[in-house]
Amino acid sequence: MESRLSRVARQWLWRPTSKVAQLKGFSYCSRFIAQFHRHASSRAYSSATQRPFRAAIIGSGPAGFYTAYRVMQRIESSVIDMYEHLPVPFGLVRYGVAPDHPEVKNCQDKFEEVADSARFNFIGNVDVGHQISLSALAPHYDAIVFAYGAAKDNKLDIPGEHLNGIYSAREFVGWYNGLPEFADLNPRLDNGEQAVVIGQGNVALDVARVLLTPPDQLRGTDMAENAIDTLSRSRIRSVKVVGRRGPMQASFTIKELRELLQLPSVSFTSIPPHLLPQDPARLPRQSKRLMQLLAKGSTNHVSSKNWDLDFLMSPTSFHPSPGNAEQLASVSFMKNEFRSGADPLDKSARVQALVPGDDIPASAAFRSVGYKSLPLPGMDHLGVSFDLGRGIIINDGLGRAIRESASDHEAFTAIRGVYCAGWVKRGPVGVIASTMQDAFATADSIVEDWNQGLLEDPSPNGARTGWEAVREAAEKAACRPVSWSEWRKIDQVEKERGQKSGKPREKLTSVKEMLEVLDG
């Protein structure tokens, strides 16, 4: 049964803001961070004790950096130590954003402004929870913020999912972006001409676009060179992007859809009219535009490649090739229908299985049905409750980790000094602008608790020293911490390598390579 804490997590799950708010968020972000250093002389918040505030942020992606920025802006005495298990920063911005979307990565410039502050320490190549325990970390900080994202992808749990040729979108995206964890993935894209992508979010469309984009168009991006080589040998000419619900429930955006529709020499089959809303006037503006694009289809009538969106279909099994029992050859689907009384225009409309559907030939299949965060070892010692089903730290919706209260007056109570931001707080939803807003909400909770004296240090000397104290534990664990100045050396080497082939950078794809740049 669902626990009371889990129900609280579900009730408080953050919901994405409107597109207008997201766009405003980008504008506000640029203005706020550009003024970062000027705020040092303006009114700031601080604890009544006026002692330095020390916080550890676990994770160096957008959620971590935006939280750091906001806290440093509003608590003048704050010092932030940011821990990252890789030697390099930026998380999903570096390893999740599609290489042909360089404009989305511009936030890295803003993060560098934050990191240039003397009150910020980057501690890369240190795996908190594994190399350094949380119990060793916690005594030296007023607050710990978990902002480490998602490390696991959801599975379909259907027969044949073990076959060669089946990949998760997470590992495929990580592979072409140079993530060390997946550097050796080596997907086989030369076994056949058709691929199936299961799921209809932006990541699913990213996968389809990369599979269909002429490799020469990707050579000028920061895509890993081995990925470009593999894509140049790909035989895939057709991609089917399949979803279990209808067009109105698909979670891709207009921008992602339009990019696929505009790919040269790639055609798109228009959606059958009976699947589209019959009364578009009822729809919000964004949904109406999306449906219009789907109805129009592709303007490319002469093409060598094509892609389709198939709706109301759920995969039931993967099947091997008759000549190779280990290699994927086809995917079986069940046809779905909307449940009785459900409105097909409702974004949350549910479906149910109807009858067995088609078998779709496929030499490669990509599972894109969501990510999950996992708990770090030792969280329970801090009193943190983790909802494994949703992959989130149970929190109050504003970033404070909560647990069941021993008080008769309150059902739940905040865990002193423990916070979360980003995907580990609200699940893998939203874009970078909404991640910023979410991180600001967490940071504001931290500032409020500090101002109210709720994070007072119980130790005799009344001060916490952060990384200076933790460094000893890191040395005992044989860690090789990477500083921000050392990251800049790695950054410079990557840019120099990229310049030789006309790319913004050529990423180092192994931790060993990264450390050799520093120590070799």
Binding-site members for NADP(+) are: 200-203, 244-245, 256, 430
Q: Residue 399, CB half-sphere, CA atoms under 13 Å: how many?
A: 29
Using the structure block, give the residue that is written with the tokens 């750091």. 68
Q: What is the largest CA-CA distance in the chain?
A: 76
Integer Cα distance of 170 and 495 in angstroms: 25
Integer Cα distance of 377 and 78 in angstroms: 27
Residues in binding site for FAD:
63, 84, 92, 128, 423, 430-432
Cβ atoms 70, 439 nearer than 8 A? yes
Integer Cα distance of 121 and 115 in angstroms: 7
Residues in binding site:
63, 84, 92, 128, 200-203, 244-245, 256, 423, 430-432
The phi-psi region of residue 10 (left if phi > 0; otherwise alpha if psi is between -120 and 50; otherwise beta) is alpha
| Token duo for residue 481 | 């911490």
* 116 contact partners, CB below 8 Å, separation of at least 6: none
* 511 contact partners, CB below 8 Å, separation of at least 6: 86, 87, 125, 180
Give long-range contacts, CB 8 A cutoff, 24+ apart: 227-234: 227/175, 227/176, 227/178, 230/186, 230/187, 230/189, 231/176, 231/189, 233/189, 233/190, 234/189, 234/190
